[in-house]
Amino acid sequence: MTTSMTDNWPETLSYDAFLKEIQVSKNALYRSLYLQFVDEFSVKNQRIAVEKLALIFKATFRLANTQGFQAMTLRQLAKETGLSMGGLYAYIHSKDHLADLIYAFLNFFCSESFIKLEDLDQPPEQKLKTIIFSHIYLSEFMQPWFYFAYMESKNLSRNHKKNAIEAELITEDKISDVISLGIKKAVFKNIDATMFAALIKAMMQDWYLKRWKYQRRKISVDAFAQQVMEVVNDHLSARENIA
């Protein structure tokens, strides 16, 4: 299942190594999207469709980012992509359908990636590190997608809300489980695993939610992940505090 695993992941944790590991370039992202949902598009020429889909999604993220998805009009989207209103409807059936596609593909892509990255045989300390680094790196690779999913879910259908909440809790459960295991094996201090997992999640999410801040300060994704890891390690380190 993990035969594609390179030798240096996750021992050498870096964004570059991560990109090699998931084996998807940014260019190939929209081809993957097109192939995943071919049936839903009336445009059958792959080259054209992939190109136009890239335009549409990138413009959607740009507009939703500056005014919100609900406030974005399809006229704006048409103008921003260079398509006409009619042309747009060859790719999306409705504005809601566009949101559906975003959530569905994000979900599909993340699941795929985690399968590639997961390694069940690692000890808790290493496994925790893998989860934290891969989540941050994935959120860097798909930043506009993560940001959109976070900021817009509350405004969309009940189904999208449920999906977003579930995604939130799944990551947290994975972190919480591995912390609990570490506590049981006495490699971590005895803390509230559920609670700390929530705080770790909050720190990780800051990377894609406040990207402007970190870019302005010239913090690299590698440096950020390292900082989060140090905070986590300090809180988990087995030495009990003697108040």
Partner DNA sequence: GTCTATAGCATGATAGAC
Partner DNA sequence: GTCTATCATGCTATAGAC
Q: Which residues bind a copy of itself (CB under 8 A)?
A: 65-68, 70-71, 151-152, 154-155, 165, 168-169, 191-192, 194-196, 198-199, 201-203, 205-206, 209-210, 212-214, 217, 219, 224, 227-228, 230-231, 234-235, 237, 241
Query: What is the C-alpha separation between 163 and 104, in angstroms, rounded?
Result: 9
Q: Under 8 Å CB-to-CB from 191, ≥6 apart: which residues?
A: 179, 183, 235, 236
170/231 with CB nearer a copy of itself: 231
Q: How many CB atoms lie within 10 A of CB 130?
A: 19
User: How near is the Cβ of 151 to DNA at its closest, in Å?
Assistant: 17
Say which entry of a copy of itself, DNA, none residue 131 contacts (CB below 5 to 8 A, set by partner kind): none
User: How near is the Cβ of 131 to a copy of itself at its closest, in Å?
Assistant: 17
Residues that bind DNA (CB under 7 A): 42-45, 48-49, 52, 72-76, 82-87, 89-90, 93-96
Q: Under 8 Å CB-to-CB from 24, ≥6 apart: which residues?
A: 32, 109
80/168 with CB nearer a copy of itself: 168
Phi and psi (nearest 5°) for 219? -90, 125
**CB-CB contact of 10 with 119 (8 Å):** yes
User: How near is the Cβ of 76 to a copy of itself at its closest, in Å?
Assistant: 13
Query: What is the C-alpha separation between 88 and 98, in angstroms, rounded?
Result: 11
94/190 with CB nearer DNA: 94
Say which entry of DNA, a copy of itself, none residue 85 contacts (CB below 5 to 8 A, set by partner kind): DNA
Query: What is the C-alpha separation between 63 and 80, in angstroms, rounded?
Result: 9
86/212 with CB nearer DNA: 86
User: How near is the Cβ of 44 to a copy of itself at its closest, in Å?
Assistant: 34
Which ranges of the chain does DSSP label H, i.e. alpha helix?
15-22, 29-36, 46-67, 74-81, 85-88, 95-117, 124-141, 143-152, 158-184, 193-209, 211-216, 221-236
Query: What is the C-alpha separation between 176 and 99, in angstroms, rounded?
Result: 30
User: How near is the Cβ of 163 to DNA at its closest, in Å?
Assistant: 20
16/192 with CB nearer a copy of itself: 192
